[in-house]
Structure 1
Amino acid sequence: MNMKKTIRILLLLLVLLGAAFLIFRTPDTDRTEMIAKYGNETSRFLDDGHGGKIHYRDEGNKDGPAILLIHGSNSMLQTWEPLVALLGDKYRLISLDLYGHGLTGPNPTGAYDADTNIAAAVKVLDTVGVDKTYWVGNSMGGWLTWRAGLSVPERVSGLVLIDASGAQVEQKGKAYLGARLAQSWIGEKLLPEITPRFLVKSSLEESVAQPERLTEALVDRYWELLRFPGNRQASVDRAKTPREPEKWTEVGALKMPVLLLWGEQDKVIPLSHARAFAAAIPASKLITYADAGHLPMEETPEQVARDIDAWIESLAVEAVAPN
């Protein structure tokens, strides 16, 4: 009798779990609809040679200094649109959706390591005919940016690290809610199928200094592109990819100019990490923003654009100054 009762309870739980899955499941968005909604007239899709298509944009002044923009984890190239609008008259701005992000979608090979992503960025540069450029990266994109400075220095004019990851310091940041879930065993199972909008909104609110500035359209963009076919599973796979913390010991060997831009209210990657980068890279310059969190290029784009422009201008002056 007890055995029958236990079986009935287990069956009831399975039914309830199945019903909950059907109720809360958030399906993938439609690929064609997303490309129509979030692509623009400059959007291009590059065949990566492995069955994938890398979404990129080449915008701004084609005769100006080139800047390559690398977004962070679970973001997309649209995070740079405010900077493109502010700097486009003077600079050539190249951006891409990394594998597992935006309109690029998952990597057919399943690889999400630094070398694979850097190779994708270099392939975009080759396609648009740019040899050397300033690499600008935020968060995970900042990690890829300084890693590119080590692995492909011949393609780098300078580095701009915006709240970049990868510093090995005692104070750890607090990953936003979505990232914490992706790193848990239950998140690995559920997130590819169940990704409610409030989860994305909560993660964004944890990332910025002034959550009231978040628009519904911005939250929708993050939510819909996270659900672009294959991106959610890619997020789980990427979370399990080794980040090679030992590379931190090489950061002092960077030979190119480095600008560090950091939101003072960043809880994801605290200001102590910026100071660690500044201490490890002797020739670097650090600028902080009192009114920004983890995404200064979206939160306070005018300040970020002004400082990048002034820094590149100062390098140009130094280059022509007599010895």
Structure 2
Amino acid sequence: MKKMIKIILLLLVVLGAAFLIFRTPDTDRADMIAKYGSEASRFVEDSHGAKIHYRDEGNKDGPALLLIHGSNSLLQTWEPVVALLGVRYRLISLDLYGHGLTGPHPTGAYDADTNIAAAVRVLNTVGVDKAYWVGNSMGGWLSWRAGLSVPERISGLVLIDASGAQVAEKIKPYLGARLARSSIGQILLPEITPRFLVKSSLEENFAKPERLTEAQVDRYWELLRFPGNRQAAVDRGKTPRQPEKWDEVGTLEMPVLLLWGEQDSVIPVSHARAFEAAIPGSKLITYADAGHLPMEETPEQVARDIDAWIQRLNVAPAVPE
């Protein structure tokens, strides 16, 4: 019995030492806002006291696009597309709750309706009644869910490697997501988040990992450690995603464009085909050389196809090359 107690105590000491050695503390809120904010950065307070970080860029007289990032991402994921489309379009982006410079929701709410309400609040703040909602991954899920709940605010949907399709093929989460879903990960990740873990997870999202820059890795790593964001990631993973809503996706009445990386190992192309089959009149374009984040990996293709699609809808002229 004494030997067992000694072994347990030794394990506790080792675990305690490992925690102290490998612990990665939160970044400083003010430092992160200074480093990753921009001249376009603004904050709007919600009804719970949270301050939602957003940007309103591009041509204020052009058609509005609302850009919604994915899980554990940030509004900077859209910067390459904003640079390419800003001549003709108004580009509005935001950090969802528990992401980027917005930080966690005060009540721990990360469901679809709460995030959609945040997006609508941003639209109201900048005075935009309707926009094309452009969402990647979880942001794509939020976009088509918004198409069901607030269709009057949506001119069209652009779903980029979107989640939420109910298909037989199982999704293999990237490393960070797998850890966040495990019991031990939920305990450790809010305190221990090494940079190599973030880099490895990002590499799984790229078709060609060499396209990933060290500056991108730093940005994801530092903003994941923005105060409260890591615990929010754990809490968000426990939030019900209401898979039954998939049965309603075929009722969407606005135009829908589907953009997908053929080398997406996170949400495979089979999910794109499911969206295409379920949504009447939707258009699917796939990219042979892109993974889960084509707007970061091959932004020229994404910007070109969004622009051409809107042009065909007779809403705006093409962006000049």
Q: Distance in 1 between matches of 2:42 and 2:150?
A: 24
Q: After the TM superposition, which segments of 4 or more aligned residues of structure 1 sit over 4 Å from their partners?
A: none
When residues 280 and 37 of structure 1 are mapped into structure 2, their CA distance, relative to the original with a 3 A threshold, is same
Hey, what does 1:142 align to over in structure 2? 140
Q: Counterpart of 1:68 in 2: which secondary structure? A: strand
CA contact (8 A) 2:255 2:281 kept: yes
| CA-CA distance at 1:9 after TM superposition | 1.8
Matched, 1:288 2:290: no
Following TM superposition, by how much is the alpha carbon of 1:317 offset from its aligned partner in structure 2, in angstroms?
A: 6.4
What is the identity, as a one-letter code, of the residue corresponding to 2:122? Answer: V
Q: Which residue, 50, 75, 85 being the options, matches 2:48?
A: 50
- 1:92-118 Cα deviation digits (max 9, x unpaired): 000000000000000001100000000
What is the alpha-carbon distance in structure 2 between the residues aligned to residue 16 and residue 51 of structure 1?
Answer: 41
CA deviation after TM superposition for structure 1 residue 5, in Å: 2.1
Which residue pairs with 1:98 in the alignment?
A: 96
Residue of structure 2 aligned with 1:113, choices 107, 111, 114: 111
**1:172 alignment partner in structure 2:** 170
Q: State the distance in 2 between where 1:148 and 1:201 align.
A: 31
- 1:125 corresponds in structure 2 to 123
Letter in 1 for 2:285: I
Instruction: Give distance in 1, aligned partners of 2:93 and 2:170.
Output: 29
Query: Once the 2 structures are TM-superposed, how far is the Cα of residue 174 of structure 1 from its aligned partner?
Result: 1.1
2:305, 2:247 → 1: CA distance?
28
Q: 1:160: which partner in 2?
A: 158
Separation (CA, whole Å) in 2 of partners of 1:62 and 1:154: 20
Secondary structure at the counterpart of residue 59 of structure 1: strand
Counterpart Cα distance in 2 of 1:18 and 1:308: 51
Cα deviation code 1:251-287 (max 9, x no counterpart): 0000000000000000000000000000001110000
* Corresponding position: 1:279 with 2:291: no
CA RMSD of aligned residues (A): 0.9
Q: Is the 8 A contact 2:157 2:256 kept in 1?
A: yes
Gaps of 5+ in 2: 317-321
- The corresponding residue for 1:34 is 32
Asked whether 1:18 is paired with 2:13, we answer no
1:250 to 240, 248, 251: 248
The number of aligned residues is 316
CA displacement at 1:6 relative to structure 2 = 2.0
Report the AA paired with residue 179 of structure 1. A
Which SS does the other structure have where 1:109 is aligned? coil
For 1:221, the equivalent position in structure 2 comes to: 219
Sort the Cα spacing of 1:45 and 1:9 in 2 relative to 1 into closer, same or farther, 3 A.
same
Relative to structure 1, is the Cα distance of residues 134 and 188 closer, same or farther in structure 2, using a 3 angstrom cutoff? same
CA distance in 2, matches of 1:241, 1:309: 34
Residue 49 of structure 1 aligns to a residue in which SS? coil
Letter in 2 for 1:50: H
1:8 counterpart SS class: helix
| Superposed CA offset, 1:209-257 (max 9, x none) | 0001111000000000000000000000000000000000000000000
State the distance in 1 between where 2:252 and 2:86 align: 28
Counterpart of 1:321 in structure 2 is none
Q: Which amino acid aligns with 2:32?
A: M
Residue 314 of structure 2 aligns to a residue whose secondary structure is: helix
In 1, Cα distance between the equivalents of 2:63 and 2:203?
34
Give CA deviations for 1:39-63 in whole Å, capped at 9, x if unaligned. Answer: 0001001111212100000000000
Q: 1:306 aligns with which of 279, 299, 304?
A: 304
Q: Which amino acid aligns with 2:302?
A: V
Q: Deviations over 1:149-182 (max 9, x none)?
A: 0000000000000000000001112110000110
> In 1, are the aligned partners of 2:63 and 2:315 still within 8 Å (CA)?
no
1:61 aligned partner: 59
Q: 1:157 to 1:317 in 2, by over 3 A?
A: closer
- Identity, % of aligned pairs? 84
**2:261 paired residue among 260, 263, 274:** 263
Which runs of no fewer than 5 residues in structure 1 stay unpaired?
319-323
Q: Distance in 2 between matches of 1:172 and 1:180?
A: 13
What CA distance in whole angstroms lies between the structure 2 residues aligned with 1:268 and 1:14? Answer: 36
SS at match of 1:45: strand
The amino acid across from 1:294 in the alignment is H
Give secondary structure in 2 for the equivalent of 1:173.
coil
- Once residues 16 and 199 of structure 2 are traced to their aligned partners in structure 1, the CA distance between those partners, rounded to angstroms, is 26
In structure 2, distance between residues paired with 1:201 and 1:20: 21
